[in-house]
Amino acid sequence: MANCLQDSDDVVALKRAAAHAAVAEIESGMLVGLGTGTTVSLAIAALGERVLAGLRIDIVATSRITALQARAAGLSVLAFDTRAGVDLAIDGADELDPDLRAIKGRGGAMLREKIVAAAAARMVVIVDASKEVTALGRGLLPIETLPFAAGFVSRRIERLGAAVSLRMAGSAPFLTDQRNIVLDCRFGVIGDCEGLAQALSAIPGMLGHGLFLDEIDAAYVGRKDGIARLTR
């Protein structure tokens, strides 16, 4: 669901190698928060292999699709709603800058992903090199919005300088797992990420934006010359 376009075999191989490296950080006894997307699905497969080999962990999932994939891989999936925290969050990203700030949400799960990231003692992201940017804003910034507030929130975001479009799934609006809509917002290169995040958070009806500025502790980047482990 995260990528409408099919990744090339090379990109899948880089994502898989990075996913394996991230999954190697997981230790028995951990509660692991899993993000959503094609990269996370590769991490789930790698985790399934480790669980078969004896690793004992539980996971919480940031989307229905991740929960389904995780159960199919033999993982123990717990509900998040009674949990105050998780040991480690593992997730993908759409853009990653050199300061480990990211844009997420092109798969539409950024609201739950941000909650689990905030609840995590550590967050690790997995990307292939095509996601690396020098500055965030190369592509769209997804923003989950209450359907009731669609027009109002769109106008407020336009006033912040973006071109806003409603994400569609065929002829109907795309709905998140919470049955909210997603506004895909083109800001261009974002000069002041913190200022933009604050301005977005102040809009009533804006439920969750895809800027992850403080959450990420480490990243595994699949590059042609190997896996880079980046930290803050």
215 binds ligand 5RP (CB under 6 A): no
- Confirm or reject binding of residue 104 to ligand 5RP (CB under 6 A): yes
* 92 near ligand 5RP, judged by CB under 6 A: yes
Residue 107-146 contact track with ligand 5RP, rule CB under 6 A, x = bound? xxxx--x---------------------------------
On whether 106 is known to bind a ligand per the annotation, the reply is: yes
* 94 near ligand 5RP, rule: CB under 6 A: yes
Find the part of the chain contacting ligand 5RP (CB under 6 A) among 85-93, 163-171, 189-197, 216-224: 85-93
Where residue 97 falls (left for φ over 0; alpha for ψ -120 to 50; beta otherwise) is beta
The distance of closest approach from Cβ of residue 110 to ligand 5RP in the complex, given in angstroms and rounded to an integer, is: 5
Q: Between 63 and 152, name the residue whose CB sits nearer to ligand 5RP.
A: 63
Confirm if 83 and 119 have CB atoms less than 8 A apart: yes
* Under rule CB under 6 A, residue 3 binds ligand 5RP: yes
Residues 35-54 that bind ligand 5RP (CB under 6 A): 35-39
Encode burial over 65-91: b for 16+ CB neighbours within 10 A, e otherwise.
bbbebbeebebebeebeeeeebbbbbb
> By CB under 6 A, is residue 95 in contact with ligand 5RP?
no
How far is 115 from 25, CA to CA, in rounded Å? 21
Among 2, 31, 116, 162, binds ligand 5RP (CB under 6 A): 2
Q: Which residue has the tokens 């482990």?
A: 229
**Bridge partners, residue 68, by sequence:** none
Nearest to 105 by CA among 96, 94, 89: 94
Contact (Cβ atoms closer than 8 angstroms) between residue 190 and residue 135? yes
92 is in an annotated binding site: yes
The verdict on whether 194 is a catalytic residue reads no
Tell me: does residue 190 bind ligand 5RP (CB under 6 A).
no
User: Which residue number, 33 or 108, has a Cβ lying nearer to ligand 5RP?
Assistant: 108
Residue 98: DSSP 8-state: T
Catalytic residues: 113
Binding site for ligand 5RP (CB under 6 A): 2-3, 35-39, 91-94, 104-110, 113
